[in-house]
Amino acid sequence: MKLDATDLRYVTSDEFRVLTAVEMGSKNHEVVPTSLIVQISGLRNGGVNKMIGELAKRNLVSKVQNSKYDGYRLTYGGLDYLAMRALSKRDSMYSVGNQIGVGKESDIYIVADAEGSEMVLKLHRLGRISFRAIKNKRDYLGKRKSASWMYMSRLAAQKEWAFMKVLHEHEFPVPKPIDQARHCILMEFIDAYPLRQVSDVPSPGQLYSTLMDLIIRFARAGLIHGDFNEFNILIRRDTGEPVVIDFPQMVSTSHENAEWYFNRDVECIRRFFRRRFRYESALYPRFRKTLDDTADGEGFRLDVAVAASGFKQKDMRTLEEVRLCSVYVAPMDDLLSMPVSRIRQRRRGWWRR
C-alpha cells in the first residue's frame, strides 16, 4: 500500500492509544475483539467505538466480521502511522515527502528533519507481492496470517538496522543509519543513482574490481550480502563510488548455504557487467579461498557483532524461513548452478507534524 501521511497530524492522542491497543491485541489475535481494545486502551467503551470508527475511515484499521465475534485488524497504514509517530516524538523525523522507490518488500520515501535536512525512510512490507503465496502454504505464527506479516516486516527492519549500524561503524560503504521504529528504518539521503541505470562508465574494469573487493571484504568480516546486484548498489554522483543498500537477506559465512549465496552475489555482478558493459574478467573471488585468506589474517567477525547487538538468532532463523519458503522465480543461470535441494527449498506533497 502507498503511504498517506495527510491525516497524521489530525489523529488525536486517544486515537493513537486505541491504535496501539489494536497492535498489542494483534500479538494473540488475528482479529482483535472490540472488548479487548477497550480493555487495553483503558478508555470508555462508547468513546473507543467512536474512535475506532474514525480510524477505520482513515484505513488505519479494518473491521472483520466472523461467526464468533466482530473485531478489528491493524492495517499497514495503521502500522505506518504508529512508526512515524514514534520517529516524530523522538525528533528524528519532521516531514514526509515523495515516494522515490518501491520494491517487492519495501517502499522508499524522502523525509526531512526539523532543520529541513533530507533523509530516506524505508518501510518494510513483507507479504505484499512475492511472499503472498506463502499464506496458502504455511503459517508462521499460528493462525494470525495478517499479523504475522507485520511481525516479519518488523523483524526485517530490525535485522537491516542491526547490520547497517555495524557496517557503518566499520566504515563499509553503506548509508548512515539514523533511527528505527517498528517496520521502518530512517537513514541518510545519498545523492546517487542505482547501478542498473548506468549505461556507460569510464572504466568498467575498475568498477568491477571495486565491487568484487567489496564482496571479499564482506566475507572476510564474516558476512555475505545475499542480494548483491545492480538494484542494490548505488553510484555516487560526485565521486562515482559504489554504496551498498538493502540488508535484510544478509547471512553469516558460517551459514549452511553461505557458499551458494556468495557465488550468487559474484555471478550477479559478472552477469551484469557482461550484459551491460560487454566486460568479462577471468578473475573473480572464490568462497573457499576467501575464507582461507581470512583465517590466515587476524580478521574480525561482524556477524558476531550483529548477534551481540540484540538481534536474536531465533529471529534470524524465523525471518529466513519465510524467505526460503517463498515462491522463487530465478534466472536460468541461477537455476543451473543451484543445488536441487535449494530449488526445493524455495518454491508528491509534504506532511508536517
- Please report the pLDDT score of residue 146 as a whole number: 47
Q: 1-90 maps to which CATH number?
A: 1.10.10.10
Q: Are 82 and 182 in contact (CB under 8 A)?
A: yes
- Please report the pLDDT score of residue 207 as a whole number: 97
Instruction: Give the residue among 264, 266, 274 at the shortest CA–CA distance from 343.
Output: 264
Decide yes or no: CATH 1.10.10.60 for domain 192-328.
no
Catalytic sites, residue numbers: 227
- Determine phi and psi for 41, rounding to 5 degrees: -70, -30
- Please report the pLDDT score of residue 1 as a whole number: 65
Q: How far is CA 98 from the centre of its chain?
A: 19
Separation in Å, CA 141 to CA 17, 29, 158, 347? 25, 10, 18, 20
Cell, residue 146: 495478517
How far is the C-alpha of 260 from the C-alpha of 256, rounded, in Å? Answer: 9
- Please report the pLDDT score of residue 65 as a whole number: 74
Instruction: Give the residue among 141, 142, 136, 143 at the shortest CA–CA distance from 154.
Output: 141
Q: How many Cβ atoms are within 10 Å of 225's Cβ, its own excluded?
A: 25
- Please report the pLDDT score of residue 271 as a whole number: 97
Domain with CATH 1.10.510.10 in the chain: 192-328
- Please report the pLDDT score of residue 327 as a whole number: 38
Contacts of 298 (CB under 8 A, 6+ apart): none
How far is the C-alpha of 241 from the C-alpha of 54, rounded, in Å? Answer: 48
Q: Which helix (H) or strand (E) element contains residue 310?
A: none
Cell, residue 34: 472490540
Domain with CATH 1.10.10.10 in the chain: 1-90
DSSP-assigned letter for residue 228 = -
Instruction: Give the residue among 342, 319, 261 at the shortest CA–CA distance from 131.
Output: 319
Cell, residue 229: 546486484
Give the burial class of 111: count Cβ atoms within 10 A of its Cβ; 0-12 exposed, 13-18 middle, 19 or more buried.
Answer: buried
Separation in Å, CA 80 to CA 41, 85, 86, 98, 164? 19, 8, 10, 15, 21
SS3 category, 66: coil
Q: Which helix (H) or strand (E) element contains residue 10?
A: none
Instruction: Give the residue among 164, 126, 158 at the shortest CA–CA distance from 312.
Output: 158
Per residue of the chain (353 residues), what is the pLDDT tens digit? Answer: 678 788 888 999 999 999 999 999 998 888 899 999 999 999 887 889 999 999 999 999 999 876 578 899 999 999 999 999 999 999 999 999 999 988 778 999 999 999 999 999 999 988 765 555 444 443 334 444 444 788 889 988 998 999 999 999 999 999 999 999 999 999 999 999 999 999 999 999 999 999 999 999 999 999 999 999 999 999 999 999 999 999 988 888 988 899 999 999 999 999 999 999 999 999 999 999 988 877 655 456 777 777 655 555 665 666 566 555 543 434 434 434 444 444 344 434 455 55
Instruction: Give the residue among 140, 170, 179 at the shortest CA–CA distance from 314.
Output: 140
Q: How many Cβ atoms are within 10 Å of 297's Cβ, its own excluded?
A: 8
How far is the C-alpha of 334 from the C-alpha of 147, rounded, in Å? Answer: 33
